[in-house]
Structure 1
Amino acid sequence: MLKQIVENYSIITPLSTSDLNPRGASACPQNLIFHILNDNSQNVEILDIGFGTGNLGSLIKHYDKTAHWHVDGIDGFQPNCNNTQLFDQKIYRNVWHGLAQQLPSDLLRKYKIICLLDVIEHLSSDTAKWLLRTLLTSMGDESFLFISTPLWFWPQNHIQHNDLEEHLIGIPATSMMALMPTMYAVNHPLVGGFVFGKRSLDFIEFFQPTSDKNFSYERGVAIAEAIKFQHTPGTLIKL
């Protein structure tokens, strides 16, 4: 069930306590967010799916050229939605506890950039395919989808049952490039960030993750090199 925690920068519901700390710091090239639009001075609304510890929101709000952007967040991990310290900083305008697939399409359509950073590897293959199709279908014609993921099966287990922390799939570079990104960048160890427009919906059938835990870092690099994928950390590639 979708539950709103923060509305217009104010906590609107009592927060619960947990023995677990907020989690979800991303290894992806988050600075890619500053290169997506031609004009960062415009009013922009961002949706941060799986906001974790709030690193992306903090990055946006502490950069003078994007501090005026409005960032909303949704996360399925309860401790992330109880982060009073983060919410008191007024970084996230609206926050929901729940899953991205619970958000109505009319809400998704209003965002200029939808961010899905280090999230899809936590989903099953079928759910990941469904979510990408849903986001691309629902977002506006001039909007962008910013996705990051390890381009191999990065082993990570859950902390407690159903906590959404376990990695369930690996995504080869071929899958992400087949969706026709407008730009991409990579961080070590082979964690890619990709920006997609609406036209990527026409190529969604070519997104093919794997649940094979033997899809190692070395195999991920081999695939990247086979398609001449630029995986030098810190390099921004515009297509």
Structure 2
Amino acid sequence: MNKGAFVRQVVKDYALVAPIPPGNYSFAGNSVGCKEIVCHLWKESSAPRTLLDIGFGIGDLARIVRARPEHAQWHLDGIDGFHVACCNTELFNKKHYRHIWHGLAQEIPAEQLASYDAICLFDVIEHLDVVASKALLRHLLASLGPNSRLVLSTPLFFWPQDHKNPDDLEEHLIGIPAHSLVALAPLMYFIHSDFLVGTFVFSRKSLDLIDGFVPTSDKAFDMNAGRVHLESLGLKADDTLYFVNPA
């Protein structure tokens, strides 16, 4: 990666670049998004693949991938803007991630993004405001290779969440109505029945439909409103993986 001003490499080729100072670290950051969806992205799951895990948190995506022997040739890289997430020596010693960077997704060069078979964004985009979220989504879609995939999960409503610490990036700034993601012609999707978190898979073709992505900063768009809206589209939150638009 061509390092931006705020990007620092922590792990390179499965090894720590430098020792992480001892500290009283508390690791968090997970998603109820359907991470297992990555196992359905390609018919030949044992072929070599590279994935970028944006906002890797506690590394749950890597745990799921590494649990499957057929993914032995997959390489995962991760980037997280939360400093503490990049101090997880126990996670990094498992060698689940090839490269780890401390930084923001917006700082990743397009040529770096284009090298991945899949870019994963599990419960990250709702931490950005309306303008920044659309800009990031446009950047990621525009940077996809012709056969690459963008995997994105997010609450399909405004899920209030505030900071725990001043620098933790935990606050939710937007809600994303289901139509904003359906309008991008996903290849497949999964919607969690209890939490109304949707996981969607897109190709580069979705870039042409980016104007349909219309998140909201209206906190009144709560879970109930999100469910009503989802039903108006004829969609169900039923924990089922749907394949809707062949690549």
TM-score bracket for this pair, using the shorter chain length: over 0.9
User: Which residue number in structure 1 is paired with residue 207 of structure 2?
Assistant: 201
Kept in 2: contact 1:121–1:168 (CA 8 A): yes
User: Which residue number in structure 2 is paired with residue 87 of structure 1?
Assistant: 92
How far is the alpha carbon of 1:19 from its aligned partner?
A: 4.5
- Mind listing any 5+ residue stretches in structure 2 that lack a counterpart? 1-5
User: Which residue number in structure 1 is paired with residue 234 of structure 2?
Assistant: 228
User: Which residue number in structure 2 is paired with residue 169 of structure 1?
Assistant: 174
User: Where does 1:91-170 land on structure 2 (aligned, <5 Å)?
Assistant: 91-170=96-175
Matched residue SS, 2:101: strand
Aligned counterpart for 1:9 among listed residues 1, 9, 14: 14
Matched residue SS, 1:115: strand
Kept in 2: contact 1:136–1:198 (CA 8 A): yes
Kept in 2: contact 1:18–1:79 (CA 8 A): no
Kept in 1: contact 2:55–2:78 (CA 8 A): yes
User: Which residue number in structure 1 is paired with residue 197 of structure 2?
Assistant: 191
Kept in 2: contact 1:170–1:215 (CA 8 A): yes
Kept in 2: contact 1:17–1:82 (CA 8 A): no
- Mind listing any 5+ residue stretches in structure 1 that lack a counterpart? none
User: Which residue number in structure 1 is paired with residue 32 of structure 2?
Assistant: 27
Q: In percent, how many aligned pairs have the same letter? A: 45
Letter in 1 for 2:122: L
How far is the alpha carbon of 1:68 from its aligned partner?
A: 2.3
Letter in 1 for 2:67: H
Aligned counterpart for 1:42 among listed residues 32, 44, 47: 47
Letter in 2 for 1:119: V
Letter in 2 for 1:225: E
How far is the alpha carbon of 1:189 from its aligned partner?
A: 0.9
CA gap 1:43/1:20 in 2 versus in 1, 3 angstroms: same
Q: Deviations over 1:69-108 (max 9, x none)?
A: 1000000001100000000000000000000111111111
In 2, Cα distance between the equivalents of 1:146 and 1:17? Answer: 34
User: How well do the aligned residues superpose, as a CA RMSD in angstroms?
Assistant: 1.1
Matched residue SS, 1:5: strand
In 1, Cα distance between the equivalents of 2:103 and 2:159? Answer: 24
In 2, Cα distance between the equivalents of 1:127 and 1:37? Answer: 30
How far is the alpha carbon of 1:18 from its aligned partner?
A: 5.2
In 1, Cα distance between the equivalents of 2:209 and 2:11? Answer: 36
Letter in 2 for 1:196: F
Letter in 1 for 2:105: A
- TM-score under structure 2 length normalisation: 0.94
Kept in 2: contact 1:175–1:208 (CA 8 A): yes
Total equivalences in the alignment: 238
2:216 equivalent to 1:210: yes
Matched residue SS, 2:182: helix
In 2, Cα distance between the equivalents of 1:110 and 1:124? Answer: 27
How far is the alpha carbon of 1:112 from its aligned partner?
A: 0.2
Kept in 2: contact 1:147–1:194 (CA 8 A): yes
